[in-house]
Amino acid sequence: MHNIETPDPLFSRVSLLREIGPYIQRHRNKIFVIAFAGEVVEQPTFRRIIQDIAIIASLDVRVVLIHGTRPQIDSRIIEDGGQPLFHNGLRITDKDALLAVKEACGYLRVKIENLLTTALHQPQINNAALDVISGNFLSAKPIGVHDGIDYKYTGQVRKVNIESIKEQLSHENVVLISPIGYSPTGESYNLGYEQTAIATATALKANKLIFITHEPIPMPIPNAMTRQEAEELGEQMPLLKLIAKAVNQDIERVHLIESMTDGGLLLELYTREGIGSMISNESVEKIRPALLEDISGILELIRPLEQEGILVRRSREQLELEIGNFHIVEVDRQIVGCAALYQTDDLTISELSCVAVHPQYRANYRGDRLVNYMEQLAIKQGKQKLLVLTTQTSDWFKERGFDEKSIDDLPENKKRLYNYKRNSRVLIKPLKQKSVSSAL
Ligand SMILES: CC(C)(COP(=O)(O)OP(=O)(O)OC[C@H]1O[C@@H](n2cnc3c(N)ncnc32)[C@H](O)[C@@H]1OP(=O)(O)O)[C@@H](O)C(=O)NCCC(=O)NCCS
C-alpha cells in the first residue's frame, strides 16, 4: 500500500544530514570506549575504522580505544617454535608467552598510534588539539589457579587509573589502552581485551561501550536487545555473554558492530536505525503517555500524514490541550509512533485516533503493538468498544478485528461532529478482556 517513489538523491542527503545533527549534539563530551579484536587490526577495513574513529573524536566525543592481541601473540609464539596454550578459552601465559604478549602489545600500539595520528591530522579533521596518548593506565592481578590449572601471567584488571584517563580526555586526546597490566610488585599480566574494555568502561562510567568484532554477527540477532536476550544468544557468540554481564554492571549501552561493514561505526552512532546491535539494560523501545515536550516530535510525525489527508489536521494549541489523550512509541528517545484515545458520549466506547508510525519504522508490527496497547488501555478504562474514523486505512483496521458500521452507530457527540465532506468510514471493534498487566 506504500507509495513507492524514486527517492530524490538531494532530498536523501538533506534528510540524512537532519538525522545526523541531533546525534552529533547528543554525543558531544560523552565518553565512548571502543574495543576491537586483534584480528580487526589485520583486516583491510582497519584503516577506514581508524579514520572513522578520528572523525568521531573530532566531533567532541571523548574516545578511549582498547585493542586485542590474540592472533599477534599466537603467531609470535608459533614463530618461536612454541604452541599457544589455552584452557576453557583462556590463554595460559607462561614466561615465553608473556614475552610474545609484550612484543605483540608494542607492535600493535605503534601501528595503531601511527594510523590514528595520521587520521587525526588529516586536513579535513583539522583539529590540532587532537592527539593519541597511550600509557600505563591499568594495574592487574593474576587470575591464579582454577580447576588445578595455573594461568601464570594471565591476569585481570585490578584498578583503572580513572584520573589519568580523564585528564587526557579533558585535553581532547584519544586514549589508547593495550590489554596488559602491571602489579605493584613489578610483574606484567596479559589481559583479555574484552574484560579490559568492560572494566575500563565501568570504571569511567562510560556512556557507551562499543565492540568492533571480526566475527560475523549470527543472524537473526536483533538490532536492539535486552540484557536477557544477549545472554540467551551467548551460546552462538560468546562475546554476547560478556556484553550481557557488562550491561548488568554500570554500563548503560553496549554496541556490537561487524568490522567488515564499511562505516559501521558512524552508521551505528549517528543514524536512527544504526547498523549493528545495541544491547541495553532496559528496553530501548517503549510506549508511554505523551508529555508536553513531545509535541514537536508528534507534529513532525503527523504533519505529512495530515497533508496527505490521512489524518485530520490538529493545531499545536489543540495538541497541547489534548496531549493527555496521546501515547507515543519511543525508540532511542525519538518519537516514531503515536495514537490517541478520546472519550465519547457513550461511556462504553472510546475513539482511537491519530494512529501513526514513522515511515522508516514501519513493517515491524509497531502499528499492531500500538493498537493492541491502546485497546488494553481502553479496557482498563472500562470500555467495551473501540471506534475508528478513517478515510484510507479501513482495510488495515478490518484486518485487525474492526467491523464497518454506519454513521447511525456513532455515539451522539461523534454523530453531531461527523464531517460529511471528509466522509470517513466508521469502524468499531468489540474489546475482549485480556490480562492488562502483561500487555502494558
Ligand atoms: C497503519 C500504520 C500505523 C501501520 O504501521 P506498521 O504496523 O508499522 O507497518 P506497515 O505500515 O508496514 O503496515 C503493515 C501492513 O499493513 C499494510 N497497510 C499499511 N497501510 C495500509 C492501509 N492504509 N490499508 C491497508 N493496508 C495497509 C501494509 O501494506 C503492511 O502489509 P504487509 O505486511 O502485507 O506488507 C502505518 O502504516 C501508518 O502510520 N500509516 C499512516 C497513518 C494511518 O493510516 N493511520 C491510521 C489513521 S486512522
Q: Whose CA is nearest to atom 35 of ligand 1?
A: 363
Q: Is 302 in the pocket of ligand 1 (CB under 6 A)?
A: no
First to last CA, the chain: 30
CA distance 286 to 369: 10
Q: Is 66 in the pocket of ligand 1 (CB under 6 A)?
A: no
Examine the pLDDT at 51 and tell me if it is beyond 60: yes
Examine the pLDDT at 13 and tell me if it is beyond 90: no
Assign a CATH topology to domain 17-280: Carbamate kinase (3.40.1160)
Q: What is the pLDDT of residue 283?
A: 58
Question: Taking a C-beta distance cutoff of 8 angstroms, is the pair 66, 177 a contact?
Answer: yes
Q: Whose CA is nearest to atom 30 of ligand 1?
A: 363
Tell me, in angstroms, the distance from the centre of ligand 1 to residue 246's CA: 38
Comparing 216 with 156, which gets the higher pLDDT?
156
Q: Does domain 285-439 have CATH number 3.40.630.30?
A: yes
CA distance 9 to 425: 37
Residue type, 122: Q
Q: Is the preceding omega at residue 220 within 30 degrees of 0, hence cis?
A: yes
Examine the pLDDT at 248 and tell me if it is beyond 80: no
- Cβ of 95: how many Cβ atoms within 10 Å? 8
Examine the pLDDT at 147 and tell me if it is beyond 70: yes
Examine the pLDDT at 261 and tell me if it is beyond 50: yes
Grade residue 4 by pLDDT with cuts at 50, 70 and 90.
very low
CA distance 228 to 304: 38
CA triplet 209, 211, 212: central angle to 5 degrees?
145
Residue 421: Cβ-neighbour burial (10 angstroms; 0-12, 13-18, 19+): exposed
Q: What is the pLDDT of residue 284?
A: 64
Q: Is 362 in the pocket of ligand 1 (CB under 6 A)?
A: yes
CA distance 45 to 357: 36
Q: Is 308 in the pocket of ligand 1 (CB under 6 A)?
A: no
Residue 206: Cβ-neighbour burial (10 angstroms; 0-12, 13-18, 19+): buried
The residue to mutate among 342, 396, 419, 426, having the most atoms of ligand 1 within 8 angstroms of its beta carbon, is 396
Q: Is 359 in the pocket of ligand 1 (CB under 6 A)?
A: no
The owner of cell 587532537 is 130
Q: Is 196 in the pocket of ligand 1 (CB under 6 A)?
A: no
For 100-114, b/e burial (b = at least 16 CB within 10 A) is bbbebbeebbebbbe
Q: What is the pLDDT of residue 127?
A: 61
Grade residue 369 by pLDDT with cuts at 50, 70 and 90.
confident
Question: Taking a C-beta distance cutoff of 8 angstroms, is the pair 138, 181 a contact?
Answer: yes
CA distance 56 to 66: 16
Question: Taking a C-beta distance cutoff of 8 angstroms, is the pair 338, 354 a contact?
Answer: yes
Q: What is the dihedral of CA 138, 141, 142, 146, to 10 degrees?
A: -110
Report pLDDT digits (tens) over 266-294: 999 998 767 888 888 765 678 899 999 99
Set of cell numbers at residue 363: 513493517
Q: Is 8 in the pocket of ligand 1 (CB under 6 A)?
A: no
Q: Is 368 in the pocket of ligand 1 (CB under 6 A)?
A: yes
Question: Taking a C-beta distance cutoff of 8 angstroms, is the pair 280, 230 a contact?
Answer: no
Residue type, 213: T
Q: Is 310 in the pocket of ligand 1 (CB under 6 A)?
A: yes
Report pLDDT digits (tens) over 76-87: 999 999 999 999
Phi–psi pair at 347, nearest 5 degrees: -65, -15
CA distance 151 to 190: 10
* Beta bridge mates, 190: 154, 180
Tell me, in angstroms, the distance from the centre of ligand 1 to residue 373's CA: 16
CA distance 250 to 231: 17
Q: What is the pLDDT of residue 222?
A: 61
Q: Is 363 in the pocket of ligand 1 (CB under 6 A)?
A: yes
Residue type, 83: Q
> Is the whole-model pTM more than 0.85?
no
Tell me, in angstroms, the distance from the centre of ligand 1 to residue 309's CA: 15
The answer to whether 17-280 and 285-439 have equal CATH topology is no
CA distance 46 to 65: 13
Helix residue ranges per DSSP H, 289-433: 295-307, 316-322, 366-380, 394-398, 412-416
Q: What is the pLDDT of residue 72?
A: 98
Q: Is 305 in the pocket of ligand 1 (CB under 6 A)?
A: yes
Q: Please choose, from the candidates 367, 366, 386, the residue with its C-alpha nearest in 3D space to the C-alpha of residue 376.
A: 386
Q: Whose CA is nearest to atom 25 of ligand 1?
A: 396
Q: What is the pLDDT of residue 129?
A: 64
The residue to mutate among 1, 369, 428, having the most atoms of ligand 1 within 8 angstroms of its beta carbon, is 1
Report pLDDT digits (tens) over 90-100: 999 999 999 99
Mean pLDDT of the chain: 90
Tell me, in angstroms, the distance from the centre of ligand 1 to residue 396's CA: 6
Q: Whose CA is nearest to atom 48 of ligand 1?
A: 390
CA within 13 Å, CB half, 189: 24
Q: Is 422 in the pocket of ligand 1 (CB under 6 A)?
A: no
Domain ranges of the chain: 17-280, 285-439
Report pLDDT digits (tens) over 170-209: 999 999 999 999 999 999 999 999 999 999 999 999 999 9
Question: Taking a C-beta distance cutoff of 8 angstroms, is the pair 153, 73 a contact?
Answer: no
